[in-house]
């Protein structure tokens, strides 16, 4: 398998579970939650799909939904903790590197703007948004967010993200077993929804910037 085929495999939720099993599933979740190059990994659809397949094809992951959810939660929280520690150690210069295949400054700016708007809640809300969930803990470490505050949001965000998606997938798979025949549509749906949310966040931030720049300064008002 060449490099690009490998990238294709680890960006496809169904391939991750079918070929890598539980071990690769946990590695992907860990990586997407705090390693710079993990931003392209399919966290949302992967967690939902793992819950769904846990009910329709339990032999694939060889575990029940409760330990599966606990394993994924630990991987998500640990990944974010790693990202926080990395950002705190390296500091802001970690974001000054040049653009490459695995690093884009626009992703940092997107996360920074989301952080300016939502503050510490970024570590909770951002868990449901690709790119932001990868860069938020690293940014939190780089700007030296209080560790206790970070961990509270990390634990809560991880629980909401993993719990809601895994149990939703498990319930739907248990209630409607034939849903696994539409995995491709489900994955596309997740990508579409998360992309739409990101676009709306970007556009809202741009409108805020535009309205701020259009307001007359104090000197202009008093002249």
Model-wide pTM > 0.85: no
Cα(95)–Cα(97) distance, integer angstroms: 6
DSSP symbols for 140-190:
HHHTT--HHHHHHHHHHHHHHHHHHHHHHHHHHHHH-GGGGGGHHHHHHHH
116 CB-near residues (< 8 Å, 6+ apart): none
pLDDT tens digits for the chain (223 residues)? 554 555 555 557 777 787 788 898 899 999 989 888 777 777 788 899 899 988 888 888 888 999 999 999 999 999 999 999 999 998 777 777 777 666 777 777 778 877 877 777 888 988 888 888 888 999 899 888 899 999 999 999 999 999 999 999 999 988 888 887 777 777 777 777 767 766 776 676 666 666 665 555 545 545 4
Least Cα distance to 68 among 220, 170, 207 occurs for 170
Cα(153)–Cα(172) distance, integer angstroms: 28
């Amino acid at each position: 398998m060449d490099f690009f085929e490998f990238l294709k495999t680890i960006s496809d939720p169904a391939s991750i579970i079918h070929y890598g099993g539980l071990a690769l599933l946990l590695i992907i979740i860990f990586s997407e939650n705090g390693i710079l190059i993990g931003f392209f990994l399919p966290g949302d659809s992967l967690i939902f799909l793992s819950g769904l397949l846990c009910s329709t094809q339990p032999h694939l992951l060889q575990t029940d939904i409760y330990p599966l959810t606990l394993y994924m939660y630990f991987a998500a929280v640990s990944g974010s903790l790693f990202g926080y520690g990395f950002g705190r150690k390296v500091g802001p210069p970690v974001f000054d590197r040049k653009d490459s295949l695995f690093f884009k400054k626009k992703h940092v700016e997107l996360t920074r703007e989301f952080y300016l708007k939502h503050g510490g809640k970024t570590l909770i809300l951002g868990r449901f948004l690709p790119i932001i969930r990868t860069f938020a803990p690293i940014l939190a470490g780089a700007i030296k967010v209080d560790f206790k505050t970070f961990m509270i949001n990390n634990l809560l965000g991880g629980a909401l993200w993993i719990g809601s998606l895994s149990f939703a997938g498990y319930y739907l798979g248990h209630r409607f077993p034939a849903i696994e025949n539409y995995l491709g549509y489900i994955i596309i749906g997740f990508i579409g929804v998360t992309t739409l949310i990101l676009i709306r966040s970007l556009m809202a931030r741009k409108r805020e910037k535009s309205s701020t720049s259009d307001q007359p300064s104090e000197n202009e008002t008093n002249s």
